[in-house]
Amino acid sequence: MQLENACKEAFGRIDVLQFNVDPNAPSVTSVLHVVKNNDMRRTYTGERQHKTEFQAREEVAQVALREGALTYILDVDDIMDTDSGASNNPVKRIDDCFSRWRPGINAPQWFTYEHGAALKVQLASPSIFRVFSTPENTKSDAQVLCAQLAIDSGVLEFIKFGDGQVRPSSPNSSVSDSKDTLVWLNVQEFIKTLPRPFPEAEFEDNPQKIEDEILQWFNKLSQDANKARTDPLKLYFHFLQVKHSFGCVLRIETPDSDPTEARTYLVEPRFSKKAKSKVGVCIQAMSENVGDFLRTYFPVESQTTTSTVLSSLTPQMRQLANQTLWPMLEAACQEIGPQATIMVHYSRKAGKFGCTLTAVVPSLSDRTTGATPNDSGKISRKWSVPTTYSCRPDARIALLCETGESVLQFIRSPGVVPSGDQPRPTKKSKQEKLLAVPMHSLAGTKPKIVVKKQVEKQRQAQAIAVPKKAPKDWDEDTNQPGIDLTYELEPGEIVDAEAVPNTSMYPPSFTSYSNPSQSSGTLNLKRKRGTDGLG
């Protein structure tokens, strides 16, 4: 039973499940209590009456599964005893949750600076992480305040389900606990560690351009976002130092001053110079799509410049695409291995952008209808949005929000077509379309040019069917045929076929007869010299 297995995994026992059945009743109905502790329990009641207790227990178990009992059991954080002081400490809550759900993975990292603290929570994949920080001028208990802000922002849910898993991972499947603490010799080494493709296409193919122009790019976006605003965005840089290495924290506070809506970007203290760490944190922010975040605060100059498509992309959609959907797709590919990849390509037309996402996974015996197998034994599928978006990040976010679930299902189960996602029909070639038309429909509509060419071909075939031959009585002296007579053919007279040069379409073996009724007909016939004693 799934519920019993979940209880064994979470608690090491199954007495958490308590079934109540009245055996004296004429028909049996079961009630299931899931009891975590004295203060936490859930009750599920069967919906039908049964003849046996076993049937009643099975039915109420299905009801509990349908109503989320499995998730409730596996949510071990709710078990913490509220009597212990440690359970009220948000720092310990995060550490305990991480150790239960992500055993063996590097623990959350804390960074402190003057009047503040930052927290980085990274899962198994280096590209799946969250960063939180305290507001400005946090003078006391900065770490506790940062942990509480992280919990309010959903860090516990991120630890549990951030990469698509639904239950605590096994220590056997965890990554190594070793940490790379090398110092980056230059910014280019740091850029190589970032996931691709970058949200900003202008930096995709030129790493040196990123290092040279990232500060100018970031400053311009910030100024445009704060243009004509009475309550502008607030940007803060805080430097970190461990021995002779430097890092940096970038915090962007929103105009509404909601701490949970603030954005935090961080690079660890692994740069040799402080200035390089500032360049690095701006590059890190760019790779996490800070450009798209800042563009949401651009002033609207005119109604015509704001499309309904752009206005439909809410901040919640942007956060969903960048912090949930894309990391889940990357994690699903990493579970399969390097053979699974996702690629994003952009199209541009009349100043607007579209986006196409291609997913390639290893082929299965039961291939997807609508998936295209390639020569390497893999299957691929494409999703796209039209060229109606003002910039590349908007097109990418719209694509992820619209098709993210379908893409994720394809990567995990390529043999299943998502419901409502029918494969596109394959276009037929011109030859296939022509062969599909009935021949009788073409008979009366054949072009005149085609008919004329066919007649000419028939005539040429008839002309070369019987090749012309030179007559056997060719006169070598005159280089002319041996003929010079014209005489009147007698009725019924037979003419030797060899006496007539074969200038017609008939073969030499054909014998010509005169028509007896043509008694007065005169024909010019060519005969050998000396025939009938004529000289």
Could you report the per-residue pLDDT of 431-481, keeping only the tens digit for each? 455 545 444 444 444 455 555 666 677 666 665 555 555 555 566 665 665
What CA–CA distance (Å, rounded) separates 191 from 193?
5
pLDDT of residue 471: 55
pLDDT of residue 23: 65
Per the model's pLDDT, the better-predicted residue between 55 and 247 turns out to be: 247
With a cut of 90, say whether residue 69 has pLDDT above it. Answer: no
Average pLDDT over residues 354-375: 64
Q: Looking at 137-141, 431-435, 503-507, which range is the least confident one? A: 503-507
User: Cβ-count burial of 448 within 10 angstroms (0-12 exposed, 13-18 middle, 19+ buried)?
Assistant: exposed
Banded pLDDT at 416 (limits 50, 70, 90): low
Give the rounded percent of residues in the chain with a pLDDT score beyond 70.
63
Per the model's pLDDT, the better-predicted residue between 170 and 356 turns out to be: 356
Average pLDDT over residues 65-89: 61
With a cut of 80, say whether residue 504 has pLDDT above it. Answer: no
Residues 6+ apart with CB under 8 A from 371: 379, 380, 381, 410, 414, 423
pLDDT of residue 300: 59
Averaged pLDDT of the chain: 73
Residues 6+ apart with CB under 8 A from 424: 370
Banded pLDDT at 491 (limits 50, 70, 90): low
Banded pLDDT at 218 (limits 50, 70, 90): very high
Specify whether the backbone of 243 is left (phi greater than 0), alpha (psi in -120 to 50) or beta.
left
With a cut of 90, say whether residue 426 has pLDDT above it. Answer: no
How far from 482 is each of 409, 485, 525, 527, 534, CA to CA, in Å?
93, 10, 12, 7, 13
Tell me the β-bridge partners of 248.
239, 267
CB-CB neighbours of 373 under 10 Å: 12
Banded pLDDT at 174 (limits 50, 70, 90): very low
With a cut of 90, say whether residue 422 has pLDDT above it. Answer: no
CB-CB neighbours of 38 under 10 Å: 7
What CA–CA distance (Å, rounded) separates 294 from 233?
9
pLDDT of residue 146: 93
With a cut of 90, say whether residue 339 has pLDDT above it. Answer: no
Among 525, 501, 529, 499, which Cα is nearest to 514's? 525
pLDDT of residue 519: 44
What CA–CA distance (Å, rounded) separates 255 from 375?
53
With a cut of 90, say whether residue 252 has pLDDT above it. Answer: yes
With a cut of 80, say whether residue 143 has pLDDT above it. Answer: yes
pLDDT of residue 351: 67
CB-CB neighbours of 347 under 10 Å: 15
Average pLDDT over residues 347-358: 80
Instruction: Provide the b/e sequence for 88-105 (b: ≥16 CB within 10 Å).
Output: eebbbbbebbbebbbeeb
Based on its alpha-carbon atoms, the radius of gyration of the chain, rounded to whole angstroms, reads: 43
DSSP per-residue codes, 393-449:
HHHHHHHHHHHHHHHHHHHH-TTSPPTT-PPPPPPPPHHHHHHHS-HHHHHTT--HH
With a cut of 90, say whether residue 509 has pLDDT above it. Answer: no
pLDDT of residue 229: 75
DSSP per-residue codes, 93-111:
HHHHHHHHHSTTSPPPEEE
In CATH, the number for domain 2-74 is 3.30.160.20
- For residues 209, 212, 218, 220, the Cα torsion angle rounded to the nearest 10 degrees is -100
With a cut of 90, say whether residue 133 has pLDDT above it. Answer: yes
pTM value is 0.48
Among 43, 46, 49, 42, which Cα is nearest to 60's? 46
How far from 424 is each of 18, 372, 417, 427, 428, CA to CA, in Å?
51, 11, 12, 9, 12
3-state secondary structure 239-286: EEEECCEEEEEEEEECCCCCHHHCEEEEEEEEECCHHHHHHHHHHHHH
Fold (CATH) for 79-168: Double Stranded RNA Binding Domain (3.30.160)
> What does DSSP assign to residue 202?
G
Banded pLDDT at 318 (limits 50, 70, 90): confident
